[in-house]
A and B are shown apart, each in its own frame.
Chain A
């Protein structure tokens, strides 16, 4: 006898009913919808070290990027069926079309998803979508009983309708169902008496029709076939929420887990859970809130004609009662509550994952064997092999596998060398397995992880670091997405120093075309927007800074200045100069910043009069001495040229210094010393000369003794170097 149980994938209600029915039926063979390629993996599910959510991963050994995942959560009916079978010693088999026939084969993409049967039923019953209907009528039932019989009847009627419509049933489904029937028949042939079949409700009606075996055999004949590799990988609720191997993902695994684990007082327990989470976020939620929220949820459900409050009623009640109508607290706990970040574990006995194999292959190819004893390696990035090593290490770093740690590059900037401190640790093996949920090759996994992190990150510097990381690891396909995120974060960030920090790496990208295959116009746009925002926001951001903050802004201004020098864009220059003049003339801006701004403007258009005016204001008695000194530091930092070549500036500085009373003079002396120490030795000497001569440039005009004979000899050579004719006199 064959008993078919139509379930909803990842439906806790289905799982609960199914468990009860299986206990009652005590089948001698259990067939579960899933890839028969993975039959060998089923026994591992019973091990104690196996903790869902986990997924079956099927790949082509030579093309690991061709992969298909079958995720299971604790509340998946399939998982519960497998556990039941394995623990009770009943043989369990998967039942579907083998992935060996499907994987990597280009199928003509079926554009139309076919008809969604549940959507039709739901519409007829007045629900917004099929999921809600199913949830209401099937998942929320707390007792088993006749539910599977009802589902089978309903699905039979629906299938009959769908089959009459063109395209109502997909070709692929027909093929898969034929394969499922073949597996059921094989079970019967082996003499099993009570066969339990667990499959998606949509397939249930046709699996009992076992008599037309020759039709099925014809359908399945001549399918392509290839070798596949199968293993278990850890999965996360997060990924379950986004997509699952069965098509659409489930939106709220956390809620499903609650439904599965809670036997009674579901609403009350949920409210208590929410209240506790909100309390953990320092919001004061009393038990009275939980009581009132429960009452409101129940009333809402009654008003909407539901037997039990569903997730929407619960969330609305929480918002109205506990959060005072505000949705911010819910956003705070929403992900924790609904998605319930959780990662599964798999036993050591599971076969290696493709990512491990890919890593091993790359290690071999790049001749970089893992070793537990620390050693340093020096990579010359101009050599292709060494460059690839560096990229591999950067990629692994992004995946959290810190096999090599990059030491500060030695020497000047722009070196072609990277020094890595290498050490392989045993726990990396686990990290590799965990990382395998991001992809099956190091490249793919790193790119996916970077993108996922980018969607979560909100801080601009984190994002630009990711961009930098992606560039170093050579992940061109991740770059456009990252840039979009940078753009979004820049738009809402009011932290101008963050924006300024983000500019230089992007400017470098533009200048050196570091990004392969990256849409240059996109980077340009991001840079344009960044510059615009910086120029608009800078004057306001520089108000009332203390010394430390001013020091930071000073650094940032210098960075932006050099970044803009790299880009060389007329419009940017103009906007930047505008922002700087604003800064230079604002009263409440710190002296250091004002001095720097004045200097940068002066460098661009050396109008001595303007600079002198600014300096005279900054150094006039109305300005506190500390601010004046800071101004001098900002203006003359790391170059005394302006001081040497512009007598008026010299004069102003000189006058100010001379007129300083003793006390303030002592106070500014260390600062001035610091400024002058940033000048080159030659500059300092020249300044000393000037001071000796009371600010007047001394030009040596005295007679020099020249030996005409020796001079003539040299002249010939000079003329030759200058490209002149013969050694004229």
Chain B
């Protein structure tokens, strides 16, 4: 019997599944990488484990020593991944979470023992980042991994997600992923371009700046430090925004193909479909798109069964990226 010593050994090595029946272009095949198959349920398990192990190597965290506290701002998945890793390794985690995330995210954090500090929903992830920085400054003894500026975040994808895609699909011509912290795009995108410079990297983002109404002016804006430090603007070939309604339409089309994934996966798939539709006729393409998580955490949104306009309206006020 094959078995593993720790649940953390099951992070990564996720499957790729073909969904070319959903491609708007018969010359463009589409494959989805199902990151929801990670033990904490999302792509962020990779980042959480990498950041914690990096902090252990640097001596910031000491395995086995009691009373060590980590703090992290997260709209959900990074917090959940860290909660899993911290539970297994015995660290206490404080997650700064915007108030308007789905209730399932809160429950997952709680079940792995994370302490939740709420930030104002109207400020979105920016507000969570601001509050976490303030709390980290007030508690210098806490370890602040800060996913937006931590090179271990993109490195996790450079060392695992990218190589897995290259191993499973060396025919890849286009890589499509969501832009949150930019870790997936920077890490896996760079790895793939190093293997084949003609691979195009497409970023998909939600209209988050439309949903966040707590910004006073544009100077309150935020670009993840890793995106600027690692030359994100030079790496990306295209960036496209996908609105909630289109994300939900794609989540439903994927479900019709038997694939049950979350709202940001619907957005990413919408981006992959745009990429396929944009290609000139006759050009053979193989698109790999990252599905960040499965659909379980979004059941309460009614995304699969509710009236699409009502569900889209509600999704506009809930952070799902």
A, B: real partners:
no
> What is the interface of chain B, defined by CB distance below 8 A to chain A?
none
